[in-house]
Amino acid sequence: MLVLQNTISTLLHECMVDIIIACYKHIQKAPRYPSGLLCYTEYDKNSTDEVRDIKILNFGSLNIDRVYTVDSFVRPGETIPSINFEMFPGGKGLNQSIAVARAGSQIYHAGKIGPDGQMLMSALIENGIHTDFVLKNGTYSGHAVIQVNKYGSNCILLHGGANQEITKSEVDMVFDSFSAGDILLLQNEINNIPYIIDKAFSKYMKIVLNPSPMDSVLKEADLNKISYLILNEVEGGDFTGETHPYKIMDSLLNRFPHLKVVLTLGKSGAMYGDELNRIQQGVYQVNTVDTTAAGDTFLGYFISRISMGSPSWSAMKMAALASALSVTKKGASTSIPTWDEVLQFSALREKDKPRKIRA
């Protein structure tokens, strides 16, 4: 009975959010003055309100990546010299915000940095990302120490820093500026994730969860509150106990029929599933240089296209094209392509289309 009640409650919540978004899209079609205001002669003649755009909020991590090139990984008790050192802006939160922005959407990033985080702020601003909700009162910014050996393999030590210092009152402050129908994007590299989910759900926002890195908290998360779940095979297995992609998808949708699931499969492409559809998206063959940003690029482009009203098959295709382009360049955020680059690449690969595998 409790499961049934939860399912009914979730479906009603989803219906309410969908109605809000549908109304917004209907209003968007109304005649407008050159200023952008609605011509209220056909709507509300007495109103002077301006139509509010649906906002995308990414409440995510901001990391400084310190990359050391070495012959071989350092062993316990050993001191070795590095061949080269580079420093990059990083973190799944930052990468996904950049991907959404380069896909053509307006996005707000919320997070926290320390006094050493100017590089991170610059990366956001240079990509046209709204930084109103990036707090600068952290002790020091999150960072990663990355060893890369002569074979291209890496070894990473991550410290959360300011990413793990976000308070509930700061979360409340951020959500004061967002409302029903807006989209929340989340990963698992900041603290207070359950509280952030509850806050967004209470405001009738669409919640997109990328459960990475997976931990015990996320395994127990209430997915009834999530609209889109975007994860890889390993994370899907952690949620379901299954290993085959079809069984992972079926298990998730049997338990949470309201979910829209994107399962990324590496070299095998990706799958989309909801209560009515399954879509298989293949990969586009390219010369692979660095796969670091492939997943974040795919996610950012998918969410951007969905937010603009694209059907799921089209969003999957454009996300796959963008992801393929990203692996042809070195680096994380620096490898994420622009929308124009993806369109040019798409024109060359128009013959490749996703296929619907079952309804």
* 316-355 b/e (C-beta count within 10 Å ≥ 16 → b): bbbbbbbbbbbbeeebbbebbbebeebeebbeeeeeeebe
Enumerate the domain spans of the chain: 1-52, 53-358
- Cα gap 186→200, rounded to integer Å: 11
Read off the pLDDT of each residue in 188-206 and give the average, rounded to a whole number: 96
Identify the DSSP state of 38. B
pLDDT band at residue 235 under the 50/70/90 scheme: very high
Give the CA distances from residue 261 to residues 16, 248, 254, in Å, rounded to whole numbers and listed in that order.
20, 10, 12
Closest CA relative to residue 312, chosen from 264, 344, 341, 274:
274
Read off the pLDDT of each residue in 25-29 and give the average, rounded to a whole number: 46
Q: At what angle do helices 312-326 and 339-348 cross, to 10 degrees?
A: 100
The least confident of 61-75, 97-111, 344-358 is 344-358
Residue tagged 């209560």 (tokens): 275
| pLDDT value of residue 204 | 97
CA dihedral angle for residue 79, residue 80, residue 86, residue 88, rounded to 10 degrees: -40
Strand 142-148, strand 56-59: pairing: unpaired
Strand 355-358, strand 278-281: pairing: antiparallel
CB 95 within 8 A of CB 62: no
Name the CATH superfamily housing domain 53-358.
Ribokinase (3.40.1190.20)
Percent of the chain topping pLDDT 70: 83
Q: What is the DSSP string of 119-166?
A: HHHHHHHHTT-EEEEEE---SS-EEEEEEE-TTS-EEEEEE-GGGG--
Please tell me the chain's helix, strand, coil percentages from 3-state DSSP, rounded to the nearest 5.
40, 20, 40
Residues 6+ apart with CB under 8 A from 298: 264, 270, 319, 320, 322, 323
Record the tokens describing residue 17, joined without a space: 């959010």
| pLDDT value of residue 332 | 85
| pLDDT value of residue 150 | 85
CB 207 within 8 A of CB 194: no
pLDDT band at residue 307 under the 50/70/90 scheme: very high
- The string of pLDDT tens digits covering residues 330-348 is 878 889 999 999 999 999 8
145 C-beta neighbours (distance < 10 Å), count: 14
143 C-beta neighbours (distance < 10 Å), count: 24
| Preceding peptide of 213 cis, ω within 30° | yes
CB 105 within 8 A of CB 307: yes
Closest CA relative to residue 107, chosen from 137, 141, 133, 135:
133
- Cα gap 316→307, rounded to integer Å: 13
Please check the confidence at residue 276 and state whether its pLDDT lies above 70: yes
Amino acid, res. 236: G
